[in-house]
Structure 1
Amino acid sequence: MNLKALNQNELDLRIKSLAQKEREVLHEVLETLKEIDARKSYLNFGFSSLFEYLVHGVGYSEGSAQRRIDAARLLRELPGVAEKIQTGEINLSQISLVQKAAREVIRTRAASVTAEQKMEVLENLGKKSYGQTQQQVAAFFDLPIAQGTYKKVHADESVRVEFTLTKEAFAKIKNAQEILSHAVPTQDLAVFLEYLADKVIKQKAGRTKENAPVHKANFESKDKMPNIANLSELDEVTANVAVNITDRSLTSANKRIIFKKQPCCQWVDPQSGRRCESKWLLQIDHKQSRWAQGSNQLGNLQVLCAAHNKLKYMREAGIRNIS
């Protein structure tokens, strides 16, 4: 179609018609997402969460994915909201603000937010701007106005991050900086956060090969396991452990070897061959389950994220859906 041939009234009618069709398609998208979420289908596709599936499997941006997830889950609670979305009375950004506020209430007050409360605040958001919606949602739930996190990746792959902290959260960070001022003698918040990240990573990873030896567990000899200098050496150590390990020797040392060999979720979608590779809430799983006489030998162990570990269990137990 040659749009230049249309007069301004025809262009006006056209964009309004397309906008309505777009809202109708959006409703279909949300209903489809609601069903995918209910079935946890994304796990079968090799993704650890609906968010990861929408971003890396479907191609939405992170913000677009989260808004659609918030809306789809709200539709499960409040089916009547669908009509408001189709008419354009409320939009995804408004829904996402309400859902985010509800999560904040649960997190900070350990209090539940009912579907009726969500509907009450949504009823008053029709045609309001983003700023007006922020103010109204914050007032309704008695929360400070939330500011989103802004991230910009530079050419050198450094990342500029902007976010707003509550007064209380900022006070906690300043207090932590004061406590650790001997270790991090700077007021630079970026340096301090990197220091904290390093500490957490080292604590979770256990003693590193540079500063501590890893001990053998239940080897036939009582010698200590050598430090692991490279992957080929690790393969040799792993092979030895796989031979000598006993059913009751899934120790911290062995767990470190498993996580070294498998640093991410190993779940593979049998159709696409896609590996999950999530690093979120990793757990060690028995390929042949313990209840089916599966052993603790390393060859029977794999790393799965919590979501795929639960899916595997549900399948083995013959339970159809994950709640």
Structure 2
Amino acid sequence: MASTQFSSIRAAPVQSVQELIKEPIPAVPQPFILDDPQPPILSASTPLPQLPTIDMKHLIMSETAGSELEKLHSTCKEWGFFQANEEDDLVNHGVSSSFMEKLKSEIGEFYKLPLEERMKYKMRPGDVEGYGLSPIRSEDQKLDWGDRFYMTTNPIHTRKPYLLPELPPSLRDSLECYLAELQKLVMMLLGFMAKALKLEKGEMEELFEDGMQSINGVDGLQIKKDGVWIPVSFLPDALVVNVGDILEILSNGVYTSIEHRATVNAAKERISIAMFFNPKSSAQIKPAASLINPQNPPLFKQVGMEKYFKDFFSRKLDGKSYLEHMKIKNEEA
């Protein structure tokens, strides 16, 4: 993973949303207010559409592999998001429902620690890793209404010594187990995606050294599908998989990196455990060579992973602006 030091990044105006709302406040501070010119299309009374579910067992079993692979392929093209149900599909991969409940509970306990304890893990100047609010990149930037803890975990030599290694032992051990099991699962999924795309053997998997998230069941996830924001529902204890920008570039636009956001729930707190699987820092990100021919030219520029990572974190919240920046325009072709 590339270095996460950025000279243009500044600390947020408050240390913690949790601390900010311990006492009544007259109004939400302006940096946290995002004017939404395009609210979700569905009303509160409309049942939420459910993300497509991919059955890992069906991908593995020979008699169902073909149809489930086609389902995975079409879901990645049309939705860019899918879910897998831990209780039925992932138990053989070690991510059981009981383990997820334990991990969520331990993460919840971390956020209940006194502020001075949490601030031992705070983001340091010019860094994006650590505990706190999203870092500031520009004067007019909007901030997420929530606290976050971001850290690089793999390769192990890139870990900040004052973050994961210093977490409470039970939480640290649970995260290590979670990382190991999800890495196995994601590499398996990448293999199936490569097969569906008809890539050369190893063409996708060899790029990666390690977007998957688990949510505590509080509604709030929205995706921008067909130009409109749609609130979505998911199965209890599901893992939600986001295709992401890298796979849209690698698939030369066959797969979709869909814009998504989390909204505030007025009654309940919302916890997301998100894990990002990125190509190794030495990788060159570009459309897979086996997909490119005179009839199917590359739609995206080539970029080194380190530059991609720095550019991505240097941009303020602005939809899919970086992916648009990566597209080859007609005059460049």
The TM-score bracket by the shorter chain reads: under 0.3
TM-score, length of structure 1 as denominator length? 0.22
The normalised TM-score by structure 2 is 0.22
Greater helix share, 1 or 2?
1
Higher relative contact order (CA 8 A, sep 6+): 2
